[in-house]
């Protein structure tokens, strides 16, 4: 009876892992397809980008002729443009997905990060155009060059975030893997962090770390939002040329709202799969080893961000020439 009972108690545990196994299988298949079709994806995305830019230019011209008739169409299309534009490759999605997949975070704070980053991206584009073209009265080439260096700066922040996460993870792993020192085993011994009795006398590492997560969250928002959207720059530049800069700013913020919708949906998906992984791994390993596993995962996330920062920094292309708006 005991043998039969043991087999029946173990089999449901393996059956509960099928959602994680299905996700890993689908992720591997999607990654292989993307790797094979990446050149075609880039080519098709460039064609769609050109068509969307032409439509935005046409709507801006219509707004210049009749704002009341074409204004809402411009804002609606700009919102859709932001949603579609966020589906393409970008370092912001790498940052937010890596952070959410490798670090514990509440859903509300995760959505707040994406909203703040998208809002900052729209504001940075508007501020850049106002400062470069209106206050400094520099040519459009200076605008594109400034956007390029902001992009490079965002990649530096991604690398700094990866380095911060690696240092935290290594510090935590060192603390977890250090052999505890047993000092006393008496009924009335004095508890401390290194007494070795096995009792919990201090907050969990996650609780201690939650107080200084503001540095990592600030780096996430800045690295995602400091690089202005190329479509927003184009809209703002063209709207300034034809004299409807106010509508251009509204269109840029509508793009930011669309971007936030897509990134928030991605954050919700990653957060859900992490919660699923946490539930499936519950009560399957000793607590110290689970902490070691999560710390190792955090270290892997930091390494991924460092590698992504190096690749994006080295592959950034300087801008070409431009026209000076009147």
pLDDT band at 201; cut points 50, 70, 90: very low
pLDDT at 96: 87
What SS3 class is residue 195?
A: coil
Residue 63, pLDDT > 80, answer yes
**Distances 294 to 4, 44, 49, 146 between C-alpha atoms, Å:** 34, 39, 39, 39
Provide the 8-state DSSP code for 183.
-
Percent of the chain with pLDDT over 90: 25
- Residue recorded with tokens 């699923």: 276
Residue 80, pLDDT > 90, answer yes
Q: Which of 268, 210, 256 is nearest to 86 (CA)?
A: 256
pLDDT band at 23; cut points 50, 70, 90: low
pLDDT in tens, 1-16: 444 444 444 445 455 5
Which is more confident, 228 or 192? 228
Gyration radius of the chain's alpha carbons: 25
pLDDT at 235: 92
pLDDT at 281: 66
Residue 223, pLDDT > 70, answer yes
How much is the average pLDDT of 184-205?
51
Range of weakest confidence among 164-168, 179-183, 216-220: 179-183
Percent of the chain with pLDDT over 70: 76
- Residue recorded with tokens 């503001």: 214
How much is the average pLDDT of 20-30?
72
The C-alpha angle 203, 206, 209, rounded to 5 degrees, equals 95
């Amino acid at each position: 009876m005991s043998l039969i009972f043991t087999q029946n108690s173990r089999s449901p545990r393996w059956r509960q892992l099928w959602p994680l196994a299905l996700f890993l299988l689908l992720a591997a298949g999607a990654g292989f397809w993307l790797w094979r079709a990446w050149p075609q994806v880039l080519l098709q995305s460039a064609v769609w980008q050109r068509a969307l830019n032409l439509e935005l230019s046409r709507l801006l011209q219509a707004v210049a002729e009749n704002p009341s008739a074409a204004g809402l169409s411009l804002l609606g299309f700009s919102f859709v443009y932001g949603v579609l534009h966020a589906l393409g490759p970008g370092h912001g999605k790498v940052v937010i997905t890596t952070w959410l997949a490798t670090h514990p975070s509440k859903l509300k704070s995760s959505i707040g990060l994406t909203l703040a980053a998208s809002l900052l991206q729209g504001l940075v584009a508007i501020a850049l155009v106002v400062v470069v073209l209106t206050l400094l009265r520099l040519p459009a080439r200076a605008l594109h060059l400034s956007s390029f260096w902001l992009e490079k700066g965002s990649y530096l922040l991604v690398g700094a975030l990866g380095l911060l996460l690696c240092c935290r993870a290594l510090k935590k792993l060192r603390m977890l893997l250090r052999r505890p020192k047993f000092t006393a085993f008496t009924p009335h011994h004095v508890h401390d962090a290194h007494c070795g009795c096995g009792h919990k006398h201090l907050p969990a590492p996650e609780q201690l770390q939650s107080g200084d997560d503001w540095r990592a969250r600030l780096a996430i928002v800045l690295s995602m939002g400091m690089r202005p959207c190329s479509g927003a720059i184009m809209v703002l530049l063209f709207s300034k040329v034809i004299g409807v800069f106010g509508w251009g700013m509204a269109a840029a913020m509508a793009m930011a709202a669309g971007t936030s919708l897509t990134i928030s949906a991605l954050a919700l998906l990653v957060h859900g799969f992490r919660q699923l992984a946490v539930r499936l791994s519950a009560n399957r390993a000793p607590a110290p080893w689970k902490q070691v596993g999560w710390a190792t995962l955090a270290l892997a996330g930091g390494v991924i961000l460092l590698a992504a920062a190096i690749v994006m920094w080295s592959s950034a292309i300087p801008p070409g020439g431009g026209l000076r708006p009147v």
